[in-house]
Protein backbone atom coordinates (compact mmCIF):
# COMPACT_ATOMS: atom_id res chain seq x y z
CA UNK A 1 0.00 0.00 0.00
CA UNK A 2 1.11 3.55 -0.63
CA UNK A 3 2.41 5.45 2.34
CA UNK A 4 0.40 8.08 4.16
CA UNK A 5 2.73 10.78 2.84
CA UNK A 6 1.87 9.88 -0.74
CA UNK A 7 1.00 12.85 -2.97
CA UNK A 8 -1.61 11.70 -5.52
CA UNK A 9 -0.64 12.07 -9.17
CA UNK A 10 -2.79 14.59 -11.04
CA UNK A 11 -1.03 14.23 -14.40
CA UNK A 12 0.87 11.54 -16.27
CA UNK A 13 3.89 12.21 -18.45
CA UNK A 14 3.99 10.34 -21.77
CA UNK A 15 7.44 9.58 -23.17
CA UNK A 16 6.34 9.51 -26.80
CA UNK A 17 8.79 8.15 -29.36
CA UNK A 18 11.85 10.40 -29.50
CA UNK A 19 13.32 13.68 -28.30
CA UNK A 20 14.80 14.60 -31.68
CA UNK A 21 12.84 17.52 -33.17
CA UNK A 22 13.35 16.51 -36.81
CA UNK A 23 12.23 12.95 -36.12
CA UNK A 24 9.24 14.22 -34.16
CA UNK A 25 8.16 16.42 -37.07
CA UNK A 26 8.57 13.51 -39.50
CA UNK A 27 6.51 11.22 -37.27
CA UNK A 28 3.88 13.94 -36.85
CA UNK A 29 3.40 14.23 -40.62
CA UNK A 30 3.37 10.45 -41.04
CA UNK A 31 0.80 9.85 -38.29
CA UNK A 32 -1.29 12.81 -39.45
CA UNK A 33 -1.52 11.17 -42.88
CA UNK A 34 -2.45 7.86 -41.25
CA UNK A 35 -5.17 9.52 -39.18
CA UNK A 36 -6.62 11.35 -42.17
CA UNK A 37 -6.70 8.07 -44.13
CA UNK A 38 -8.36 6.41 -41.14
CA UNK A 39 -11.10 9.05 -40.99
CA UNK A 40 -11.70 9.14 -44.73
CA UNK A 41 -11.55 5.35 -45.14
CA UNK A 42 -13.91 4.47 -42.30
CA UNK A 43 -16.36 7.33 -42.89
CA UNK A 44 -16.34 6.54 -46.60
CA UNK A 45 -17.02 2.85 -45.94
CA UNK A 46 -19.89 3.67 -43.58
CA UNK A 47 -21.41 6.08 -46.13
CA UNK A 48 -21.01 3.56 -48.95
CA UNK A 49 -22.70 0.78 -46.97
CA UNK A 50 -25.62 3.05 -46.07
CA UNK A 51 -26.01 4.40 -49.61
CA UNK A 52 -25.59 1.28 -51.75
CA UNK A 53 -28.45 -1.24 -52.21
CA UNK A 54 -25.81 -3.87 -53.06
CA UNK A 55 -24.46 -3.80 -49.51
CA UNK A 56 -27.55 -4.76 -47.54
CA UNK A 57 -26.39 -8.16 -46.28
CA UNK A 58 -25.53 -8.93 -42.62
CA UNK A 59 -21.81 -8.97 -43.44
CA UNK A 60 -21.86 -5.30 -44.44
CA UNK A 61 -24.03 -4.37 -41.47
CA UNK A 62 -21.31 -5.79 -39.24
CA UNK A 63 -18.63 -4.14 -41.37
CA UNK A 64 -20.26 -0.72 -40.98
CA UNK A 65 -20.17 -1.14 -37.19
CA UNK A 66 -16.55 -2.26 -37.37
CA UNK A 67 -15.68 0.91 -39.29
CA UNK A 68 -17.45 3.00 -36.64
CA UNK A 69 -15.53 1.26 -33.84
CA UNK A 70 -12.21 1.75 -35.67
CA UNK A 71 -13.01 5.43 -36.13
CA UNK A 72 -13.79 5.91 -32.42
CA UNK A 73 -10.85 3.90 -31.07
CA UNK A 74 -8.43 5.80 -33.32
CA UNK A 75 -9.90 9.19 -32.41
CA UNK A 76 -9.52 8.64 -28.67
CA UNK A 77 -5.73 8.21 -29.10
CA UNK A 78 -4.42 9.91 -32.23
CA UNK A 79 -5.40 13.60 -31.76
CA UNK A 80 -3.64 13.65 -28.37
CA UNK A 81 -0.64 11.82 -29.83
CA UNK A 82 -0.39 14.31 -32.72
CA UNK A 83 -0.62 17.24 -30.31
CA UNK A 84 2.21 15.76 -28.21
CA UNK A 85 4.52 15.72 -31.24
CA UNK A 86 4.21 19.51 -31.39
CA UNK A 87 4.34 20.05 -27.63
CA UNK A 88 7.41 20.29 -25.44
CA UNK A 89 5.51 18.85 -22.47
CA UNK A 90 3.88 15.53 -23.27
CA UNK A 91 1.36 15.02 -20.49
CA UNK A 92 -2.20 13.96 -19.87
CA UNK A 93 -4.39 14.79 -16.86
CA UNK A 94 -5.53 11.98 -14.59
CA UNK A 95 -9.15 12.43 -15.71
CA UNK A 96 -8.08 12.33 -19.36
CA UNK A 97 -6.10 9.15 -18.67
CA UNK A 98 -9.15 7.52 -17.09
CA UNK A 99 -11.25 8.53 -20.11
CA UNK A 100 -8.68 7.02 -22.49
CA UNK A 101 -8.62 3.74 -20.57
CA UNK A 102 -12.41 3.52 -20.54
CA UNK A 103 -13.05 4.40 -24.21
CA UNK A 104 -10.06 2.47 -25.57
CA UNK A 105 -10.99 -0.72 -23.68
CA UNK A 106 -14.65 -0.30 -24.60
CA UNK A 107 -14.06 -0.12 -28.34
CA UNK A 108 -11.11 -2.53 -28.30
CA UNK A 109 -13.20 -5.35 -26.83
CA UNK A 110 -16.18 -4.40 -29.02
CA UNK A 111 -13.95 -4.88 -32.07
CA UNK A 112 -12.93 -8.34 -30.82
CA UNK A 113 -16.55 -9.45 -30.67
CA UNK A 114 -17.52 -7.77 -33.94
CA UNK A 115 -14.74 -9.74 -35.66
CA UNK A 116 -16.01 -12.89 -33.95
CA UNK A 117 -19.56 -12.08 -35.09
CA UNK A 118 -18.35 -11.60 -38.66
CA UNK A 119 -16.55 -14.96 -38.49
CA UNK A 120 -19.78 -16.61 -37.31
CA UNK A 121 -21.64 -14.87 -40.16
CA UNK A 122 -19.19 -16.31 -42.73
CA UNK A 123 -19.53 -19.75 -41.10
CA UNK A 124 -23.32 -19.66 -41.45
CA UNK A 125 -23.14 -18.37 -45.03
CA UNK A 126 -20.70 -21.07 -46.21
CA UNK A 127 -21.58 -24.07 -44.03
CA UNK A 128 -25.36 -23.58 -43.66
CA UNK A 129 -26.52 -21.50 -46.66
CA UNK A 130 -30.10 -22.88 -46.61
CA UNK A 131 -30.85 -21.62 -43.09
CA UNK A 132 -28.61 -18.54 -43.32
CA UNK A 133 -31.48 -16.04 -43.87
CA UNK A 134 -33.29 -17.45 -40.83
CA UNK A 135 -30.31 -17.51 -38.46
CA UNK A 136 -28.92 -14.14 -39.61
CA UNK A 137 -32.17 -12.18 -39.69
CA UNK A 138 -32.10 -8.39 -39.13
CA UNK A 139 -33.26 -8.94 -35.54
CA UNK A 140 -30.49 -11.47 -34.85
CA UNK A 141 -27.87 -9.16 -36.41
CA UNK A 142 -29.03 -6.29 -34.20
CA UNK A 143 -28.80 -8.55 -31.13
CA UNK A 144 -25.26 -9.65 -32.03
CA UNK A 145 -24.06 -6.09 -32.57
CA UNK A 146 -25.76 -4.83 -29.40
CA UNK A 147 -24.18 -7.69 -27.46
CA UNK A 148 -20.74 -6.75 -28.80
CA UNK A 149 -21.14 -3.15 -27.60
CA UNK A 150 -22.46 -4.28 -24.20
CA UNK A 151 -19.48 -6.59 -23.69
CA UNK A 152 -17.17 -3.76 -24.71
CA UNK A 153 -18.93 -1.46 -22.24
CA UNK A 154 -18.55 -4.06 -19.49
CA UNK A 155 -14.84 -4.31 -20.23
CA UNK A 156 -14.40 -0.53 -20.27
CA UNK A 157 -16.22 -0.11 -16.94
CA UNK A 158 -14.27 -2.97 -15.40
CA UNK A 159 -10.87 -1.59 -16.43
CA UNK A 160 -11.88 1.88 -15.21
CA UNK A 161 -12.84 0.44 -11.82
CA UNK A 162 -9.51 -1.34 -11.73
CA UNK A 163 -7.66 1.90 -12.46
CA UNK A 164 -9.62 3.79 -9.80
CA UNK A 165 -8.25 1.38 -7.18
CA UNK A 166 -4.63 2.27 -8.05
CA UNK A 167 -2.46 4.89 -6.37
CA UNK A 168 0.47 6.60 -8.11
CA UNK A 169 3.15 8.25 -5.98
CA UNK A 170 6.74 7.48 -6.95
CA UNK A 171 6.52 8.14 -10.68
CA UNK A 172 4.05 9.48 -13.21
CA UNK A 173 6.03 8.61 -16.36
CA UNK A 174 4.35 6.23 -18.82
CA UNK A 175 6.68 4.77 -21.44
CA UNK A 176 3.92 4.87 -24.03
CA UNK A 177 2.02 7.41 -26.16
CA UNK A 178 -1.40 6.83 -24.54
CA UNK A 179 -2.90 5.53 -21.28
CA UNK A 180 -3.19 1.76 -21.22
CA UNK A 181 -4.15 -0.25 -18.17
CA UNK A 182 -1.15 -2.64 -18.26
CA UNK A 183 1.63 -0.03 -17.86
CA UNK A 184 -0.55 1.85 -15.35
CA UNK A 185 -0.70 -1.27 -13.17
CA UNK A 186 3.09 -1.58 -13.38
CA UNK A 187 3.46 2.08 -12.42
CA UNK A 188 1.16 1.93 -9.40
CA UNK A 189 2.52 1.98 -5.84
CA UNK A 190 -0.63 0.44 -4.29
CA UNK A 191 -2.02 -3.07 -4.16
CA UNK A 192 -2.72 -4.11 -7.76
CA UNK A 193 -4.61 -7.32 -6.95
CA UNK A 194 -8.02 -6.02 -8.06
CA UNK A 195 -6.70 -4.40 -11.24
CA UNK A 196 -4.76 -7.52 -12.25
CA UNK A 197 -7.77 -9.71 -11.48
CA UNK A 198 -10.05 -7.58 -13.67
CA UNK A 199 -7.47 -7.45 -16.47
CA UNK A 200 -6.82 -11.21 -16.46
CA UNK A 201 -10.51 -12.10 -16.11
CA UNK A 202 -11.41 -9.83 -19.02
CA UNK A 203 -8.62 -11.24 -21.19
CA UNK A 204 -9.55 -14.83 -20.32
CA UNK A 205 -13.33 -14.54 -20.40
CA UNK A 206 -13.85 -12.04 -23.23
CA UNK A 207 -10.64 -12.18 -25.26
CA UNK A 208 -10.31 -15.97 -25.34
CA UNK A 209 -14.02 -16.55 -26.01
CA UNK A 210 -14.05 -14.19 -29.01
CA UNK A 211 -10.85 -15.69 -30.41
CA UNK A 212 -12.26 -19.22 -29.97
CA UNK A 213 -15.37 -18.25 -31.95
CA UNK A 214 -13.11 -17.00 -34.76
CA UNK A 215 -10.90 -20.10 -34.64
CA UNK A 216 -13.75 -22.62 -34.56
CA UNK A 217 -15.65 -20.78 -37.30
CA UNK A 218 -12.68 -20.81 -39.66
CA UNK A 219 -11.82 -24.44 -38.94
CA UNK A 220 -15.38 -25.31 -39.98
CA UNK A 221 -15.20 -22.96 -42.99
CA UNK A 222 -11.92 -24.39 -44.26
CA UNK A 223 -13.22 -27.93 -43.77
CA UNK A 224 -16.36 -27.09 -45.75
CA UNK A 225 -14.37 -25.43 -48.54
CA UNK A 226 -12.01 -28.40 -48.85
CA UNK A 227 -15.01 -30.72 -49.27
CA UNK A 228 -16.11 -28.80 -52.38
CA UNK A 229 -15.07 -30.77 -55.44
CA UNK A 230 -14.69 -28.06 -58.09
CA UNK A 231 -11.77 -25.65 -57.96
CA UNK A 232 -14.05 -22.79 -59.05
CA UNK A 233 -16.43 -23.55 -56.19
CA UNK A 234 -13.57 -23.54 -53.69
CA UNK A 235 -12.30 -20.22 -55.06
CA UNK A 236 -15.72 -18.56 -54.83
CA UNK A 237 -16.34 -19.85 -51.31
CA UNK A 238 -12.94 -18.76 -50.05
CA UNK A 239 -13.18 -15.35 -51.73
CA UNK A 240 -16.17 -14.46 -49.53
CA UNK A 241 -14.07 -14.56 -46.34
CA UNK A 242 -10.52 -13.60 -47.42
CA UNK A 243 -10.98 -9.94 -46.45
CA UNK A 244 -12.23 -10.82 -42.98
CA UNK A 245 -9.54 -13.47 -42.50
CA UNK A 246 -6.87 -10.92 -43.42
CA UNK A 247 -8.27 -8.36 -40.96
CA UNK A 248 -8.59 -10.97 -38.18
CA UNK A 249 -5.01 -12.18 -38.69
CA UNK A 250 -3.58 -8.67 -38.43
CA UNK A 251 -5.76 -7.71 -35.45
CA UNK A 252 -5.14 -10.78 -33.33
CA UNK A 253 -1.48 -10.95 -34.31
CA UNK A 254 -0.93 -7.39 -33.10
CA UNK A 255 -3.03 -7.97 -29.95
CA UNK A 256 -1.10 -11.10 -29.02
CA UNK A 257 2.25 -9.39 -29.51
CA UNK A 258 1.09 -6.46 -27.36
CA UNK A 259 -0.70 -8.13 -24.45
CA UNK A 260 0.61 -11.68 -24.12
CA UNK A 261 4.18 -10.71 -23.26
CA UNK A 262 5.59 -11.37 -19.80
CA UNK A 263 5.51 -8.29 -17.59
CA UNK A 264 9.27 -7.92 -17.88
CA UNK A 265 8.87 -7.41 -21.63
CA UNK A 266 6.49 -4.51 -21.35
CA UNK A 267 7.30 -0.85 -21.75
CA UNK A 268 10.02 -1.41 -24.29
CA UNK A 269 10.57 0.26 -27.64
CA UNK A 270 9.38 -2.83 -29.50
CA UNK A 271 6.24 -2.97 -27.39
CA UNK A 272 5.57 0.68 -28.20
CA UNK A 273 5.67 0.00 -31.93
CA UNK A 274 3.45 -3.05 -31.45
CA UNK A 275 0.99 -0.65 -29.81
CA UNK A 276 1.24 1.60 -32.89
CA UNK A 277 0.27 -1.31 -35.12
CA UNK A 278 -2.64 -2.25 -32.84
CA UNK A 279 -4.04 1.21 -32.15
CA UNK A 280 -3.04 3.32 -35.18
CA UNK A 281 -2.36 1.19 -38.24
CA UNK A 282 -5.15 -1.41 -37.99
CA UNK A 283 -8.02 1.16 -37.95
CA UNK A 284 -6.54 2.56 -41.16
CA UNK A 285 -5.99 -0.85 -42.80
CA UNK A 286 -9.43 -2.35 -42.19
CA UNK A 287 -11.38 -0.17 -44.68
CA UNK A 288 -8.57 -0.60 -47.23
CA UNK A 289 -8.63 -4.39 -46.83
CA UNK A 290 -12.40 -4.59 -47.26
CA UNK A 291 -12.36 -2.15 -50.18
CA UNK A 292 -9.45 -3.51 -52.20
CA UNK A 293 -10.17 -7.23 -51.64
CA UNK A 294 -13.96 -7.18 -51.93
CA UNK A 295 -15.63 -7.24 -55.33
CA UNK A 296 -19.05 -6.19 -53.99
CA UNK A 297 -17.62 -3.10 -52.29
CA UNK A 298 -15.70 -2.13 -55.44
CA UNK A 299 -18.83 -2.68 -57.57
CA UNK A 300 -20.98 -0.60 -55.21
CA UNK A 301 -18.40 2.19 -55.30
CA UNK A 302 -18.21 2.02 -59.10
CA UNK A 303 -21.99 2.33 -59.44
CA UNK A 304 -22.18 5.30 -57.08
CA UNK A 305 -19.29 7.07 -58.78
User: What pLDDT was estimated at residue 6?
Assistant: 65
In a domain, 232, yes or no: yes
For residue 248, what pLDDT is reported? 83
Most confident of 51-60, 101-110, 244-253: 101-110
On average, the pLDDT of the chain sits at 84
Position 276 in a domain = yes
Using an 8 Å Cβ cutoff, are 277 and 231 in contact?
no
143-194 pLDDT per residue, tens: 999 999 999 999 999 999 988 888 887 778 888 888 888 888 888 888 888 8
Q: Where in the sequence is the domain holding 114, given as residue range(s)?
A: 11-304
**107 pLDDT above the threshold of 90:** yes
What angle, rounded to 10 degrees, do the helices at 94-127 and 242-259 form?
140
Number of compact structural domains in the chain: 1
In the prediction, which pLDDT does 266 show? 44
Task: Note whether residue 89 is domain-resident.
Answer: yes
- pLDDT tops 70 at residue 63: yes
Q: Check which CATH number belongs to the domain holding 193 and give it.
A: 1.20.1070.10
- Domain-embedded: residue 21: yes
| Residue 4 belongs to some domain of the structure | no
265 — pLDDT class (breaks 50, 70, 90): very low
Looking at 132-136, 150-154, 192-196, 294-298, which range is the least confident one?
294-298
Q: Is residue 277 part of a domain?
A: yes
pTM over 0.85: yes
Of the candidate ranges 109-118, 129-138, 261-270, 283-292, the one whose mean pLDDT is the lowest: 261-270
Q: Does some domain include residue 6? A: no
Amino acid sequence: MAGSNCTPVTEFSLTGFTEDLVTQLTLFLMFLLVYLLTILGNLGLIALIRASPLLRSPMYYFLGNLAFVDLCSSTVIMPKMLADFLSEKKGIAYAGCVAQVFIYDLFGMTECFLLATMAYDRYMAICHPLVYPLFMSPKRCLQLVTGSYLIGLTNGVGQTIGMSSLSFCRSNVLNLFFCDISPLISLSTSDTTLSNLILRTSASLFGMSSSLVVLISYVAIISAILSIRSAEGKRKAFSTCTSHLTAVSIFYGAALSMYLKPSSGRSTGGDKWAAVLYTVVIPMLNPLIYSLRNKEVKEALRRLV
